[in-house]
C-alpha cells in the first residue's frame, strides 16, 4: 500500500484487502501512516445474530389478542404472509384478502417496520407441479404483490413444499430472492452460521415450525418458550439467522400457538442481541454484503484530517437493493469524542459522536461518496 500525504489531496489505496467478512475493501489512511480499516458487519448495527418473526396469516385490524401492538411495544417487527389468490384449510377454500386487510398491512403496519413475504398465488403444493406450472404460480404471486404496492423479495413455500430442485429454480426465475422451508429439527435452523457469508441455498432457507403441543401433539415442533430459548442462545453463539414461523397466534385455528408463550418468545428475543428484521431486509443485507466494495479516502487539511470519504458499492440495482449496510471503521484518534456530520451530495444526513476509535455507520450501497467531517 502506498500513501500520498500531501495536504488536502485524496490518499489513494493501491491494494484491495479482504477484511472481517472477506469484503473487498480499498482502505486508506493518512494520519501517522495508519490505515483506516473498514469492513461490513455481519449483521445490521453489528448485532450478534439475526432473527425473523413470521406469521403465516393475514393481519386483521382489531383482532384480539392484539399481536401487532404487542410486538411493536417490545421494539420488534414481524412479517405477514401474502397469498394473493385462494388459500385452503381442509375442505374449505378461502378467497384472497379483502381491501381492508391489504390497506391495514400497507398503510398501518409497514410504515412501523412490519413487512410481508410471498406465500403463493394459491396455497398449494408446488412440488407437485411441473417447472412451468410452478413458475406460472410464483409469477402470479409476484406480479399481484407489485399490483398491491408491495416489493416482493422473500417467499415462504405453502405447506413447506419447495424441496424439489425445479421448484426452487422456478421460484428464482419468478423474481423472488429467497425461499423459506419449514423444519422441526433445530440443528437445521441456523442459517448462515459462523464465518459463512451467505446461505448454502437461497431458495432452501430453513424456518422453525412454532406450534403448541395441544394442537396436534407435534412434540418435535417448537411448542413453547422453554423450547425456543436455548435455540435463541445457540443462534447468538453461532452468529446465525433464525426464522420463526407461527400460525394462528392466540387463536384456536390451524397450527395455533399459545398467546402467553408467544409473549414470552417476544420478550426473550427483545432481551437478546438480535437484529430482528423481516426476511426481506435480511435477504437484501446479505446479498448486498456479498458484493460490497468499500473505498475509504482521507482528505487532509493543514492542521490534520479534514474529512473522510466512504464510498460503498455492490453493483446491484439501487432501487431494489436499498438496505443500509453497517460499516465498521477506525476513525482518526483526534475525532474521538467529537461531533461529526455525515453528508452525501451536499445534504447532511446525520450527526454522530463516537467515544472510541472504533466506529460504525449504516450506509446504503449507492456508489456515491459519503463525507464525514468533524465540526470545528
Per-residue pLDDT at 186: 97
61 neighbors 107 (Cβ within 8 angstroms)? no
Residue 19: pLDDT above 90? Answer: no
Bridge-based pairing of strands 79-82 and 370-374 is unpaired
Per-residue pLDDT tens for 136-157? 999 999 999 999 999 999 999 9
CATH 3.20.20.370 matches 48-272: yes
Q: What class, spelled out in words, does domain 17-44+293-374 have in CATH?
A: mainly beta
CA-based nearest residue to 270, from 36, 31, 72:
72
| Cis status of the peptide bond prior to 65, with omega within 30 of 0 | yes
DSSP summary character for residue 40: E
The total of other beta-carbon atoms located within 10 Å of residue 66's CB is 12
Give me the phi and psi of 86, to 5 degrees please: -110, 145
Is 114 exposed, middle or buried (CB count within 10 Å of its CB: 0-12, 13-18, 19+)? buried
Sequence ranges of the domains in the chain: 17-44+293-374, 48-272
Distance CA 283, CA 297 (A): 29
* 3-class secondary-structure state, position 128: helix
Q: Could you read off the pLDDT of 164-191 as tens digits, one per residue?
A: 999 999 999 999 999 999 999 999 999 9
d(CA 329, CA 326): 10
Is 48-272 in the same CATH topology as 17-44+293-374? no
Residue count (the chain): 376
Has residue 93 got a pLDDT over 80? no
- Average pLDDT of the chain, as a whole number: 89
pLDDT in tens, 338-375: 999 999 999 999 999 999 999 999 999 999 999 999 98
Residue 70 vs residues 60, 80, 283: alpha-carbon distances, Å = 14, 15, 25
Give the pLDDT mean for 232-245.
98
- State residue 124's pLDDT score: 94
Give residue 302's pLDDT band: very low, low, confident or very high (50, 70, 90): low
CA distance 333 to 207: 44
Whether 27 has a pLDDT exceeding 70, the answer reads no
DSSP state of 210: B
Amino acid at each position: 500500500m502506498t500513501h500520498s500525504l500531501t495536504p488536502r489531496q485524496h490518499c489513494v489505496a493501491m491494494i484491495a484487502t479482504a477484511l472481517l467478512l472477506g469484503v473487498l475493501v480499498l482502505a486508506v489512511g493518512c494520519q501517522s501512516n495508519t490505515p483506516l480499516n473498514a469492513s461490513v458487519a455481519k449483521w445490521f448495527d453489528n448485532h450478534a445474530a439475526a432473527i425473523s418473526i413470521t406469521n403465516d396469516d393475514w393481519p386483521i385490524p382489531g383482532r384480539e389478542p392484539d399481536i401487532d401492538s404487542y410486538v411493536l411495544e417490545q421494539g420488534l417487527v414481524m412479517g405477514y404472509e401474502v397469498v394473493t389468490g385462494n388459500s385452503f384449510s381442509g375442505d374449505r377454500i378461502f378467497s384472497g384478502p379483502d381491501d381492508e386487510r391489504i390497506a391495514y398491512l400497507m398503510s398501518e403496519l409497514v410504515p412501523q417496520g412490519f413487512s410481508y413475504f410471498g406465500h403463493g398465488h394459491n396455497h398449494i403444493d408446488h412440488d407437485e407441479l411441473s417447472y412451468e406450472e410452478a413458475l406460472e404460480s410464483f409469477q402470479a404471486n409476484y406480479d399481484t404483490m407489485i399490483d398491491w404496492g408491495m416489493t416482493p423479495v422473500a417467499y415462504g413455500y405453502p405447506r413447506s413444499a419447495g424441496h424439489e430442485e425445479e421448484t426452487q429454480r422456478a421460484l428464482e426465475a419468478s423474481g423472488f430472492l429467497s425461499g423459506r422451508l419449514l423444519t422441526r429439527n433445530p440443528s437445521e435452523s441456523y442459517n448462515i452460521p459462523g464465518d459463512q457469508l451467505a446461505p448454502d441455498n437461497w431458495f432452501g432457507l430453513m424456518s422453525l415450525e412454532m406450534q403448541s403441543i395441544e394442537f396436534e401433539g407435534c412434540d418435535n415442533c417448537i411448542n413453547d418458550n422453554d423450547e425456543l430459548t436455548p435455540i435463541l442462545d445457540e443462534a447468538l453463539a453461532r452468529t446465525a439467522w433464525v426464522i420463526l414461523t407461527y400460525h394462528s397466534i392466540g387463536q384456536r385455528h390451524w397450527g395455533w400457538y399459545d398467546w402467553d408463550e408467544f409473549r414470552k418468545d417476544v420478550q426473550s428475543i427483545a432481551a437478546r442481541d438480535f437484529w430482528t428484521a423481516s426476511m426481506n431486509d435480511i435477504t437484501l443485507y446479505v446479498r448486498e454484503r456479498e458484493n460490497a466494495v468499500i473505498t475509504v479516502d482521507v482528505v487532509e487539511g493543514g492542521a490534520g484530517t479534514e474529512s473522510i470519504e466512504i464510498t460503498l458499492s455492490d453493483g446491484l440495482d439501487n432501487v431494489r437493493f436499498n438496505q443500509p449496510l453497517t460499516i465498521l471503521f477506525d476513525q482518526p484518534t483526534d475525532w474521538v469524542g467529537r461531533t461529526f456530520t455525515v453528508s452525501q451530495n451536499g445534504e447532511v444526513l446525520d450527526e454522530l459522536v463516537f467515544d472510541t476509535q472504533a466506529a460504525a455507520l449504516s450506509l446504503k450501497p449507492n456508489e456515491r461518496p459519503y463525507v464525514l467531517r468533524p465540526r470545528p
